[in-house]
Amino acid sequence: MGKRRLQVLFAAFVALVAMVFAATPAHAANATNRSTATITVSGAESATETSVYQVITVKWEDGQASPEGYYWNSAGGSTTNVVSWVRNNYPSYVGANGKVSDQFTQSLTSTQKETFFKKLGDAI
């Protein structure tokens, strides 16, 4: 039961990430590197262990209305980080310096992204 619940929660997280990539904001408020977000997990049983992993890093300059770019997370060492996994399994999704490639952001359907994030979640 706990593993199934974790898979459902991860699938929800993947869907949220896919929606972020699919959305094109018309006008965004200026953000700073001090901006934060909160992740709330509800509906899980009290004995369920939930883990959240940073998959993408957003580089944002203070005062700009849109980010400079999205980068696959590189924390955790060369064999355990997200950018290494993506580079090894989907090299066309990684650009210079670990940046999320245009092929990933512009060419994939939401279903293809969901499949990709499911495989990434299974690897994590």
With beta carbons less than 8 A apart as the criterion, state whether 72 and 56 touch: yes
Question: What does the domain layout of the chain look like in residue ranges?
Answer: 2-24+53-123
Q: How confident is residue 11, by pLDDT bands cut at 50, 70 and 90?
A: low
Give the model's pLDDT for residue 51.
73
**Per-residue pLDDT for 9 more than 70?**
no
- Kindly report the length of the chain: 124
Give the model's pLDDT for residue 29.
52
- Region 55-67: what's the mean pLDDT? 82
- Region 108-117: what's the mean pLDDT? 92
**Per-residue pLDDT for 25 more than 60?**
no
| Alpha-carbon dihedral sign for residues 37, 10, 8, 117 | positive
Q: Helix H segments across 50-109?
A: 82-89, 102
- Identify which has the larger pLDDT, 115 or 6: 115
- Identify which has the larger pLDDT, 33 or 13: 13
Average pLDDT of the chain is: 77
Q: How confident is residue 27, by pLDDT bands cut at 50, 70 and 90?
A: very low
Give the model's pLDDT for residue 56.
84
